[in-house]
Structure 1
Amino acid sequence: MPQIGYLSEDRLQNIPKRHWAAHEFSFYLHDLIAHLASAAEQSGAGHIQIQLDTEKDVEALKAASNPIDFLSATGRTDEERRLMVNHICAALLPDMLHFIHAGLTALEKRKFTLAFACFRKPFTEGLPLIALLCADEENFFTKFKSDPVGFLDSGNFNRPTKRLAIEAAIAKCSDASFMSADLLHAYLFDFTNTSGFAGLFDKAMHLVTRNHNIKTEAYNLNLIFKDPRQNDIYDASYQGLSYVLLCIHLMQIELLKRMQFPADDYLKQLNIRAAGTYQALFLKGRSKIASSMNETLGELMKCPICHERVRLKKRTAPMFFVTENLECDQCGHVSQFPLAWLMSNNTDDEANRQKSD
């Protein structure tokens, strides 16, 4: 798979060339999540309006240490839940992104121990917490308010519980039919999965490990003596990294919709482009989303040099979805294509047709 063009070649020099596109896509997903978090904050999507009916309410708000305490004291449970959930999302996602960014950057430098030590917290703790919010925010609110330590303690919020939370969250997310709780669990928590991260997480955090699947060998310390020139971690990791990041992205979209984030069409676009890139990079057979683009926008996809109609292929789809560059399959010329603008106008036309009907 050729380079997408999302990151400079200088940053990719230490990564095997066959994985350049996959690494770029991982960073693209990180940036999508970051951009959406920032856009939601700037739009005030996490804000709520508090109606102060009496002078007593005004005084109670002034006396409260924070708005959540005021809402709790005055029995405004729905507003309290909404504000608390919004507040957690606004703080948790950026925290996860700091670690993800550090992990991806470490991969660019072949610092494998640092990379998976960074990925461990957002993937095994942050993602399941977001899944709980997506799955049942009312139950989350009740338990988080009464006993957050007991609720999220590893003894109660264990691997099987996290798998159930992820499964319930996926069921609530739009356009997430290809996501699987079992596969996510295998990537994040299954020590027997050689393409998973559970063993790498523990080895990155601990010099020695007892689990028989990842038991430290004699005369060894976990990852300390690993030859950084080896490519096995790259070969085994990128599909899983992209899958996990895409899942976080889909859950974020679901939570933003509940915050009344005023950009449903925009969210749908991002979802299609991210899922389309994933299909082209990692799934066998034809990419359904790429084929759909050929049908929907095919008449507009013409090369400005040879004037032939361009058909999107799996090889060229990642660059098309991520950077909006279209490579001609006849002469090889690469040109800009207004994908986001056309998708937005196509959505508007569809909405107008539905209104007229």
Structure 2
Amino acid sequence: MAHDLCFVVHDILAQLLKSGEEGGFFRTTITFNDEADRVSFEQAEDIFDWLEETQRLNDRTSILTTTVFPAILSDMLHCIYEALESSRKAKLNVTYMLVRKPIQESLFLLETIVVNPNDFAAKLAVDPLKLRGEKAGGLDAHTRRIQQVLEKLGEEGRFSAEYIAQLRYNKSEEDGFDGICNLAMHLFTEHRAIRTTPLNINFIFSGWDEKCTQWAYLYSRLPYLLIYTHCVVEHLCERIAPTHPTYLNDMQRRIAALAVLWREQMEPAYVAEPIDKLVSYNRDWLIGHCLSAGYPAPSESDFVKMAFTGAFPREGKMKVLLRNLRYRLRAALNRRSARRVRQ
């Protein structure tokens, strides 16, 4: 179920990216003040020099965020897809190598845009190296940034900033990806928390028991970070091209239902309070969401159906099919609109 949850989040984000590209939403329009303004723009050798000289910093921010966001998201999704496929093939060393970049570096960049898009654009234009996650400070600095993100998203009740930072950046913590990802990437490591033991080479001699442990940890924690990533991406998309509420709620129902089922299958040794907090929040949201829509509270069997179809409890099959058909039609209209713009 955890593998399904990870892929559902991946597929939702991939569809979001595809719809945005087909709909031409990742474009920015510059409005000129007058004819002289337009002429100076056309004569400029470098658009970003012109934007800075004319003090159009908001335009610079808009151009850079709408250009960088889909590119970063696409790269993240490629890494996540291949990581999940490698996991399916029991290539866990490859999985952990591929997971590190999206959860540490790519997600850091998206968080930077959420917190302060103007600061992100200024750093990218002048000194991109300042956007490296390792230059952001220690674990406390990461925690503070993530807390700011959660506050902007209104998700403080669902996620723990301390736990997200720990999972992504704390090499010394056994419950974290940083250590195991480094072990997967490097044959030998010297950090005291992950120092290579005598007569060993990291990950090379993993037997079936070790692989099972690596699987168990991966699927007990990666869904938590991917659900958080989905929230970050949706927040950024809201600024560029808001998702229709019906579709957004449908996808949220699927993720929330899968999260409930994921927790029920988790091995007791991997249970953690922040994960229980997330799942409890999702369960309560689903119950309230179903009741407010005029449907009964979901049962266990409803969670399974909802996870893969988005269906409400006792909702007719035809109604679910028609709703999904509307999504496809809306996507087709987006593509047609984008073609007209290009022409």
TM category, shorter: 0.7 to 0.9
Q: Distance in 2 between matches of 1:150 and 1:287?
A: 40
Instruction: Tell me the alpha carbon deviations over residues 286-333 of structure 1, each in whole angstroms, 9 at most, x when there is no partner.
Output: 92234235534565x7xxxxxxxxx633465144133346899xxxxx
Which residue of the other structure, out of 194, 210, 214, is the alignment partner of 1:214?
A: 194
Q: Distance in 1 between matches of 2:221 and 2:11?
A: 17
Give the 5 Å matches for 1:293-312.
Answer: 294-296=290-292, 312=298
Higher relative contact order (CA 8 A, sep 6+): 2
Q: Does 1:145 align with 2:125?
A: yes
Preserved CA contact (<8 Å) 1:280 1:287? no
- The 1:140–1:341 alpha-carbon spacing in structure 2 relative to 1, beyond 3 Å, is same
Preserved CA contact (<8 Å) 1:127 1:248? yes
Which residue of the other structure, out of 181, 186, 202, is the alignment partner of 1:201?
A: 181
Provide the residue aligned with 2:266 in structure 1. none
Instruction: Tell me the alpha carbon deviations over residues 240-272 of structure 1, each in whole angstroms, 9 at most, x when there is no partner.
Output: 111111111111111111114353443344334
Q: CA deviation at 1:203?
A: 0.4
Provide the residue aligned with 1:274 in structure 2. 255
Provide the residue aligned with 1:6 in structure 2. none
- The 1:171–1:227 alpha-carbon spacing in structure 2 relative to 1, beyond 3 Å, is same
Greater shift after overlay, 317-326 or 104-113?
A: 317-326
Amino acid at match of 1:257: E
Give the 5 Å matches for 1:178-257.
Answer: 178-228=158-208, 230-257=211-238
Provide the residue aligned with 1:160 in structure 2. 140
Give the 5 Å matches for 1:51-70.
Answer: 51-65=31-45, 67-70=47-50
Equivalent position SS for 2:182: helix
- The 1:56–1:316 alpha-carbon spacing in structure 2 relative to 1, beyond 3 Å, is same
Preserved CA contact (<8 Å) 1:324 1:339? no
Q: Distance in 1 between matches of 2:236 and 2:166?
A: 24
Which residue of the other structure, out of 341, 344, 348, is the alignment partner of 2:323?
A: 341
- The 1:172–1:193 alpha-carbon spacing in structure 2 relative to 1, beyond 3 Å, is same
Q: Does 1:261 align with 2:247?
A: no
TM-score by length of 2: 0.79
Instruction: Tell me the alpha carbon deviations over residues 31-70 of structure 1, each in whole angstroms, 9 at most, x when there is no partner.
Output: 1111111212222323222123444333333334564444
Preserved CA contact (<8 Å) 2:28 2:63? yes
Q: How many residues align structurally?
A: 308
- The 1:173–1:271 alpha-carbon spacing in structure 2 relative to 1, beyond 3 Å, is farther
Preserved CA contact (<8 Å) 1:208 1:221? yes
Provide the residue aligned with 1:116 in structure 2. 96
Q: Does 1:79 align with 2:59?
A: yes
Provide the residue aligned with 1:305 in structure 2. none
Provide the residue aligned with 2:284 in structure 1. 288
Preserved CA contact (<8 Å) 1:22 1:239? yes
Q: Distance in 1 between matches of 2:16 and 2:175?
A: 30
Provide the residue aligned with 1:322 in structure 2. 308
Preserved CA contact (<8 Å) 1:99 1:119? yes
Identity over aligned pairs, percent: 22
Equivalent position SS for 1:130: helix
- The 1:193–1:44 alpha-carbon spacing in structure 2 relative to 1, beyond 3 Å, is same
- The 1:269–1:340 alpha-carbon spacing in structure 2 relative to 1, beyond 3 Å, is farther
Equivalent position SS for 2:134: coil
- The 1:157–1:86 alpha-carbon spacing in structure 2 relative to 1, beyond 3 Å, is farther
Q: Distance in 1 between matches of 2:67 and 2:36?
A: 26
Q: Distance in 2 between matches of 1:193 and 1:240?
A: 14
Equivalent position SS for 1:231: helix
- The 1:85–1:235 alpha-carbon spacing in structure 2 relative to 1, beyond 3 Å, is same
Q: Distance in 2 between matches of 1:296 and 1:264?
A: 15
- The 1:175–1:156 alpha-carbon spacing in structure 2 relative to 1, beyond 3 Å, is closer
Q: Distance in 2 between matches of 1:114 and 1:72?
A: 43
Going by fraction, where is helix more abundant, 1 or 2?
2
Preserved CA contact (<8 Å) 1:46 1:259? yes
TM-score by length of 1: 0.76
Preserved CA contact (<8 Å) 1:250 1:271? no
Equivalent position SS for 1:287: helix
Q: Give structure 2 stretches of 5+ with no counterpart.
A: 264-275, 327-343
Q: Distance in 2 between matches of 1:279 and 1:141?
A: 38
